[in-house]
Amino acid sequence: MIAGNALGDAIDRAYPAFARYGFPHKLEAAPTRDGAAILRTLGSAPLRELCGEALGPYAGYAMTTVGGVGDYKHFLPRILELAILEPIWLGTTPRVVAEKIVYGQWRAWPDREREAVLAVFDAAWMQARNEHPEAVNALDWLEGCVTLGLDATALLEAWLPSLNADGALQLASLVHRESQPPDPPAKPLPARPWLASDAVAEALRRFAGSVAPEDEWLLQAGLKAHAALDS
């Protein structure tokens, strides 16, 4: 996903929000991790130029087996940016980033830091929800928002008025996933009644026949899954 204006602005604001956390002099690490080697890799480029290969592994280890909360906060703006640009590492997937933030007791963080995090997740969700599923899985950002304590139903209800054809495909994919048996570690979203509503079915039907022919199957799968949710 390429960051649009709102999302790019949110990322830009995240850097100064966490600027007071300097590059760590040392990383405490579990015996299974080489803190010194990880730190050397993390220092191989300026923060905003760190690539996924350098930052991704640390982002997955952070706080549980490598470093503390202050260390993670130093790297968090770039981790958030990579969650948008390169979410291929465990530690840069939106859901895991959100879980790490919660693990770091983020409710006790200063307002400016919490607001910066929420701004990125909110902007990323708002952009991803109407992009083609092959470009980004909007559910990843929705799960991240819910992990941070945002209301899933409220986020979804605000989506329908701006729904486009790509958004209908994202919605169909979400409905289909929620109709399936739970697949750990994924958790059902606390929004099943909304997903089973007539408004969702009507939204999907509105775009039937208007998406690309190769995507029509996904829309139909969503409609079939909606019928299962509603039964």
The dihedral built from the CA positions of residue 145, 146, 150 and 155, taken in this order, carries a sign that is positive
CB atoms within 10 A of CB 209: 9
DSSP type of residue 182: P
Does 133 map to a domain?
Answer: no
pLDDT recorded at residue 230: 66
Tens of pLDDT, residues 54-94: 999 999 999 999 999 999 999 999 999 999 999 999 999 99
Q: How far is CA 179 from CA 93, 176, 197, 203, 218, in A?
A: 23, 5, 13, 17, 14
Which is nearest to 137 in space by CA: 172, 163, 161? 172
Does 145 map to a domain?
Answer: no
Tens of pLDDT, residues 94-107: 999 999 999 999 99
* pLDDT above 70: residue 228: yes
Tokens of 166: 């790509």
For the residues 172-198, what does the mean pLDDT come to?
Answer: 81
Does 140 map to a domain?
Answer: no
Place of tokens 């092959």: 134
* pLDDT above 80: residue 165: yes
Question: Do 98 and 181 fall within a single domain?
Answer: no
Q: How far is CA 170 from CA 52, 101, 220, in A?
A: 26, 26, 12
Question: Do 10 and 78 fall within a single domain?
Answer: yes
In order, the DSSP letters of 207-231 are: HTTTS-GGGHHHHHHHHHHHHHHT-
Mean pLDDT of the chain, nearest integer: 93
Question: Do 11 and 75 fall within a single domain?
Answer: yes
Among 79-88, 125-134, 182-191, 197-206, name the one with the lowest average pLDDT: 182-191
Place of tokens 């910066």: 116
Vertex 8, ends 5 and 11: CA angle to 5°? 150
Q: Per the structure, how many domains does the chain have?
A: 2
By residue count, the chain amounts to 231
Q: For residues 201 and 223, is the Cβ–Cβ distance under 8 A? A: yes
For the residues 173-200, what does the mean pLDDT come to?
Answer: 81
Domain membership of residue 187 as a residue range: 151-229
Which is nearest to 98 in space by CA: 121, 115, 74? 121
Question: Do 91 and 156 fall within a single domain?
Answer: no
Task: Provide the residue type at 167 as one letter.
Answer: G
pLDDT more than 70, % of the chain: 96
Q: How confident is the model at residue 180 (pLDDT cuts 50, 70, 90)?
A: confident
Q: What is the pTM of this model?
A: 0.93
* pLDDT above 90: residue 205: yes
Question: Do 88 and 14 fall within a single domain?
Answer: yes
Does 126 map to a domain?
Answer: no
Question: Do 20 and 91 fall within a single domain?
Answer: yes
- Domain-ending residue, one of 51, 78, 109: 109
Tens of pLDDT, residues 15-49: 999 999 999 999 999 999 999 999 999 999 999 99
* pLDDT above 90: residue 191: no
Vertex 86, ends 74 and 55: CA angle to 5°? 35
